[in-house]
Structure 1
């Protein structure tokens, strides 16, 4: 299915012994390789695929979310959060988000139904507004698990894609099991070939429609890799995406 000169992308290299992506040349198995859709610029696509694939697999395979359900996305203005909003909206899911007020307008443009300030006791506000959720996902790892469980409906699910810095959670176990709730975790490096391929098909359709390509892209070079990693670790700008090119 591939010809010399085709533009292609992949999102699963550098794990489990596979060649990494910061290389001038890389051998990619064909079942992990996907075409760049016609008319889609490669730079914003490359910046989007990691967070977008995470969102797609979380919604489809981890949450198994369905049209008409309600999802709370915490820290929704970040890279994964914005992808979750757009894909959930496409699926007919009601997406309620927490973010900084300066990001409310953007999140609403992407498809969020309601926005809450994560600095201002958002859990109490959600309860006052009578929101309950089928699914909750915290993209930041900063919200206590007990708060998220309390916002769930019977049989609801909390999904983790990161962990708190202290590596600890406390929550009322009796309430948890009596409500038949679930806690799941997802790391994209463990995604299967089939999950990645299904996500790639869905993402390419979205890319062709001009969706998911809204990241702030900073073009750098391989020699800048250490500096980029340091900036990411510092967490000074959760909206920034670095794309490294050979010098």
Structure 2
């Protein structure tokens, strides 16, 4: 994604999505997001130009609002690939950073081909040393500028690990992060 382009981040309220909003906005990219409606304010504070509820047919809403994108990043794995492809401009790309729940896809291959669209998969364990070094550079610059440090971190003891795990499983703490320390 480059300055002046449009990016749709799906699942933007999660840890990865929030960081993507900030990095893309700082790079001069127009960012649009999907999340739960309760997270719209946070996404907008981080730089999202428009927020859509991922639970309410956002693809149709984006089309009605005349949004199309150079790049779509799906952090959730819950969006139909055909929906993402339909939202792309000529030469646009979809990047999946998690395995989609639906392992089988149907989409218009001819339209995909004619519009020179691309599908990327990103698995961090396959990243090269050069890719990781470039990413570390960008992240370290952002950290030095005081960016990307908005996570709520709760310090808990090792003995609290089962309770923390249960909170995360139950979704009780939203986007809470835990650091476990020796008792």
TM over 0.5: yes
Deviates more, 1:150-159 or 1:161-170: 161-170
Aligned-residue offset at 1:231:
5.5
Distance 1:173 1:187, change over 3 A: same
CA–CA distance in 2 between the matches of 1:138 and 1:236?
A: 24
Alpha-carbon distance in 1 for matches of 2:41, 2:70: 24
Measured after TM superposition, the shift of residue 246 of structure 1 is 3.6
1:193, 1:159 → 2: CA distance? 20
Deviation at 1:232, TM superposition (A): 4.8
Deviation at 1:228, TM superposition (A): 5.0
**Structure 1 residues 94 and 126, CA, compared in 2 at 3 Å: closer, same or farther?**
same
Change (3 A) 1:177 1:216: same
Please say if 1:106 is aligned against 2:45: no
Aligned to 2:124: 188
Aligned to 1:74: 10
Pair 1:95-2:45 in alignment: no
Question: What's the secondary structure of 1:200's corresponding residue?
Answer: helix
- The range that moved more, 189-198 or 85-94, is 189-198
Counting matched residue pairs gives 183
Structure 1 residues 153-181: Cα deviation after superposition (integer angstroms, max 9, x where no partner): 11110000112224332222222112111
The aligned counterpart of 1:85 is 21
Per-residue CA distance 1:2-44 (angstroms, 9 max, x = gap): xxxxxxxxxxxxxxxxxxxxxxxxxxxxxxxxxxxxxxxxxxx
Match of 1:152 in 2: 88
Question: Which has the higher Rg, Structure 1 or Structure 2?
Answer: 1
The match for 2:61 among 125, 128, 131 is 125
Q: 1:146 to 1:235 in 2, by over 3 A?
A: farther
C-alpha change, 1:217 and 1:130, in structure 2 (3 Å) is same
CA shift at 1:119, angstroms?
1.9
8 Å contact kept, 1:76–1:97: yes
Following superposition, the deviation at residue 74 of structure 1 comes to: 0.9
Is 1:163 matched up with 2:99? yes
- Return the offset for 1:238: 5.3
CA drift of 1:209 comes to 1.9
User: Structure 1: which 5+ runs fail to align?
Assistant: 1-64
| Distance change (3 Å), C-alpha of 1:151 and 1:237 | farther
| Greater shift in the superposed pair: 88-97 or 173-182 | 173-182
> Distance between the aligned counterparts of 1:228 and 1:68, measured in 2?
41
Give TM-score scaled by structure 2 length: 0.89
TM score, norm. by length of structure 1: 0.67
Contact 1:86 1:111 in 2 (8 A): yes
Partner of 1:50: none
